Structure 1
Amino acid sequence: MTSRVTLISPAMGPSLRQARFDDGTTSLDDDGTAQARAASGVLRPAVRVVTSPSVRCQQTTAALGLAAGESPTELAGLQVGRWQGLTLAEVSRSEPEAVALWLGDPDSAPHGGESVRKLCSRIGQWLDTTSHMDGHTLAVVEPDIVRAMVVYVLGAPAEAFWRVDVAPLTATEITGQAGRWNLRMGHALQVASSR
């Protein structure tokens, strides 16, 4: 049995533009919504559609014309504790040592939330449960969820997490059978030219 999971990063919104630690309630902006609507219909049909529980992921799902199924808590973004709602620039000014520790040590959680290593483990467990499901799962998820999946699938060290860039509204495909995963990443969701 082969499973396929397509991860879609959310469309652009204020939190992504400002490098803000999203609290899960921030909406897409008009441009992000328009871009997602323009990409509606370009995704292959899926047996299951799931989303991160954040508003921007759910709005991206709707703008893509997809009917979301569940929003598993395992697909929630990295929990950043007291930094939630702040920008990276704000936290870097007020807690520069903590930010340096957080970016350099995947086991650290100076914000009182979740470490990068724990996130990668959580996402790996979720992905392994999907390997028992035949067919295609489409998941509209936070960029840090895509990063964690890439690290897990490649068996890369958790230190590689911050080396993975995830552009808005891109697809990363993971296919697997018997616990072995393959990766195809970074495809922009674009409407085909009408020439």
Structure 2
Amino acid sequence: MTATSLRLVAHAHTTALRRARFGGSDDGLDEGGLRAALALAQAGRGHLGVDDACVSSPAAAATDTADALGLLPTIEAALADCDYGDWTGRSVEEIAVEQPQALHEWMSEPESAPHGGESVAGVRDRVGAWLDGQRGADRRLTAIAHPLVIRVAVVHALDLPLATYRQVDVEPLAIVRLTGRGARWHLRLSAPRVD
């Protein structure tokens, strides 16, 4: 039976991510994010899959992270961040003041898109289709993406209800490992290797 080993790596910090702004992954890494990614590259060589094939969201934050980690990604459009429509670049605080009902709707109903962009369900469908296409290929793959993309990927891989994506926290530079065997994905948690 063939198996796919997939490392999902959340891109490092951006100014927009630190300020809780919708979108903003096209900003590129901020100074702290770049330092953290470079430090991870030095400390975590055995954990990053430097010999794997690598794909990345088209966002600057993802490609900057891949570069800092010493990876050479192919751009994968299916791993793009959510399209936040009219909310792109705006903070959660701003939307909470100006459109509290719309924000509540978006946070409680994954199928809604009050901002005119993409719903979380739409992101899950897009990312899930990509993820399903990876299973069964006998290879190791590292994918750099936005934390939301990784959250919905985990929910899809484990066949959890979509609403549980809010209970999955993915910090910048987090590494989530999935192994695809047959028709299922398995979440793999492992201790760091000490060389």
Q: Does 1:67 align with 2:87?
A: no
**In structure 2, what is the equivalent of residue 21 of structure 1?**
22
User: Which shifted more, 16-25 or 56-65?
Assistant: 16-25
**In structure 1, what is the equivalent of residue 6 of structure 2?**
5
C-alpha distance in 2 between matches for 1:72 and 1:60: 15
> Counting helix residues as a fraction of each chain, which structure ranks higher?
2
- Displacement, 1:132? 3.8
SS of the residue 2:49 aligns to? coil
SS of the residue 2:63 aligns to? helix
CA displacement, residues 49-76 of structure 1 (integer Å, 9 cap, x when unaligned)? 00111111110110111111x2111110
Q: Unmatched 5+ residue regions in structure 2?
A: none
CA displacement, residues 119-157 of structure 1 (integer Å, 9 cap, x when unaligned)? 111111101111142111100110011111111011111
Aligned alpha-carbon RMSD (Å): 2.0
**In structure 1, what is the equivalent of residue 36 of structure 2?**
35
AA in 1 matched with 2:39: A
SS of the residue 1:25 aligns to? helix
- Displacement, 1:180? 0.6
C-alpha distance in 2 between matches for 1:185 and 1:114: 31
**In structure 1, what is the equivalent of residue 175 of structure 2?**
171
Q: Does 1:52 align with 2:53?
A: no
Shift >4 Å, 4+ stretches: 190-193
AA in 2 matched with 1:39: L
- Displacement, 1:162? 1.4
C-alpha distance in 2 between matches for 1:22 and 1:76: 10
AA in 2 matched with 1:48: A
The total of aligned residue pairs comes to: 190
- Paired residues of 1:46 and 1:135 also in contact (CA < 8 A): no
C-alpha distance in 1 between matches for 2:147 and 2:130: 16
TM superposition score normalised by structure 1: 0.91
